[in-house]
Structure 1
Amino acid sequence: MVKTVIFDMDGVIVDTEPLHYLVNKEHHKALNIEVTDEVYSTFTGTSNKNYFQTLKNMFELADEVDDLITYKNDIFLEAFDHSEDLDLLPGVKDLIQDLFQNGVELILASSSEKVIIDKVFERFGLAPYFSHRVSGEDFPESKPNPAIFEYAAALSKAPKSECIVIEDSTNGIKAAKAAGIYCIGYIGEHSGLQDTALADKVIRHFSELNYDVIQQLKATEDTK
């Protein structure tokens, strides 16, 4: 039985991936570097810390990683506040409410910094539904390292065997599976080059999921 659902945030709950892309492109231009879309896609789901440490090494940037993160987040938060059309992914709020009303514990495990997570939760009124918010900034390694999901599962009131993860990125799905947690992969409009092959179940719209469907999916998996 599923008693806890662990949600990723960017690209799963809120459609921020296009905004992150535009902000990072602006930042790359300011740094006078060029990151191809193919290379950029490999970082989806990872933390800014991992992203900028890799760029610093690749392009021999003089800037400190913390300064690069702060600069990027400043641009992102300003763009976030002025993006009137930014919204939750279609159907995800209904799923969150359905799970919550059926007594399922909800935990967020996002690679984003806490300041961005808090902004999203405040803007879309998500705080009442989630028992915990876990940020990738608190871990030395980001997804696909499983640490963030192992920690999120440890916070759950239920054992890991009664948890599932909902993810949209290659790195996030790899992290969930490395943590030994059942994973539903979401393919959204802006999923791009992300690979969901390792996910236990793949969906293209959150209307495909509800409390009963999730229980059935996990029960079927547990009988294999």
Structure 2
Amino acid sequence: MIQTVIFDMDGVIVDTEPVHRYAYFQHFDELDIQVTEEMFTSYTGNSTRNTFQKIKATFNLNEDVEDLILRKRNLFNDAFDSKEDLYLFDGVEKLIKDLYDNGMQLIVASSASKVTIDRVFRRFGLHHYFTHIVSGEDFPMSKPHPAIFEHAASLSTAPKENCIVIEDSTNGIIAANAAGIYCVGYNSEHSKLQDLSLADCVIQHFDELNFEKIRSLR
């Protein structure tokens, strides 16, 4: 019986991807580098640090990775504060409340920084529902490496076998599989270039899930 749900954040709880994309590509323009759509898509699920480590190596940049991270983060924060159409995915707040009200433990495990997660959670009043927040910035390797989900599962009040992960990215699903955790793939409008075939099941909308359905998964 499932007792803990581990949520990814970007692309699952909230649609911050367009804000991240804006910040990244504005930064790429400043750096005068051409990042293709295929290349950018391959970074989905990576932390900002791992993304810039790869970009620095690919384009032989002289800038320090930490400086690149800081500039992108500033661009993101400026856009986040001014963007009025930032929203939770349809049905996810209802699902979070349903799970919480029925005693399900909720954990977020996101590649985003702690600062970004906190900004999102404060904006939408989500802190109350989650027992733990796990940020990818605390791990040297990003998804598809399983470390973030292995750590999230270690924080569960239940064994790993009684946890599930909800993910929208190829890298995230691979990470959940590598961690040995049942994975629900969320096929959102922003997941079109992501391969969800390795998920244990795939949903198109959060209305397909509720406490009773999740509890009986596996």
TM-score (norm 1): 0.96
The Cα of 1:20 is off from its aligned counterpart by 1.1
Distance in 2 between residues matched to 1:66 and 1:3, nearest whole Å: 38
Does 2:40 match 1:31? no
Contact 2:169–2:195 under 8 Å retained in 1: yes
Distance in 2 between residues matched to 1:38 and 1:22, nearest whole Å: 16
Task: Specify the SS of the correspondent of 2:6.
Answer: strand
Q: Deviations over 1:32-81 (max 9, x none)?
A: 00111011101111111110000000001111111111110111011011
Specify every segment of 5 or more residues in structure 2 that has no aligned partner in the other structure, as ranges: none
Distance in 2 between residues matched to 1:39 and 1:114, nearest whole Å: 25
The Cα of 1:201 is off from its aligned counterpart by 0.7
The Cα of 1:192 is off from its aligned counterpart by 2.8
Q: Deviations over 1:127-182 (max 9, x none)?
A: 00000000000001000000000000001111100000000000000000100000
Distance in 2 between residues matched to 1:3 and 1:45, nearest whole Å: 25
Letter in 2 for 1:37: E
Q: Report how many aligned residue pairs link the two structures.
A: 218
Identity of aligned residues (%): 60
The Cα of 1:215 is off from its aligned counterpart by 2.0
Distance in 1 between residues matched to 2:94 and 2:35, nearest whole Å: 37
Letter in 2 for 1:171: N
In the alignment, which residue of structure 2 is the partner of 1:207?
Answer: 207
Task: Specify the SS of the correspondent of 1:58.
Answer: helix
Alignment of 1:23-62 (within 5 A): 23-62=23-62
Instruction: Detail structure 1 runs of 4+ shifted over 2 Å in the superposition.
Output: none
Task: Specify the SS of the correspondent of 2:157.
Answer: coil
Contact 2:184–2:201 under 8 Å retained in 1: yes
Letter in 2 for 1:123: R
TM-score (norm 2): 0.99
In the alignment, which residue of structure 2 is the partner of 1:169?
Answer: 169
Specify every segment of 5 or more residues in structure 1 that has no aligned partner in the other structure, as ranges: none
Task: Specify the SS of the correspondent of 1:49.
Answer: helix
Task: Specify the SS of the correspondent of 1:103.
Answer: coil
In the alignment, which residue of structure 2 is the partner of 1:5?
Answer: 5
Contact 2:3–2:215 under 8 Å retained in 1: no
In the alignment, which residue of structure 1 is the partner of 2:139?
Answer: 139
Compute the RMSD of aligned alpha carbons. 0.7
Alignment of 1:183-202 (within 5 A): 183-202=183-202
Task: Specify the SS of the correspondent of 2:63.
Answer: coil
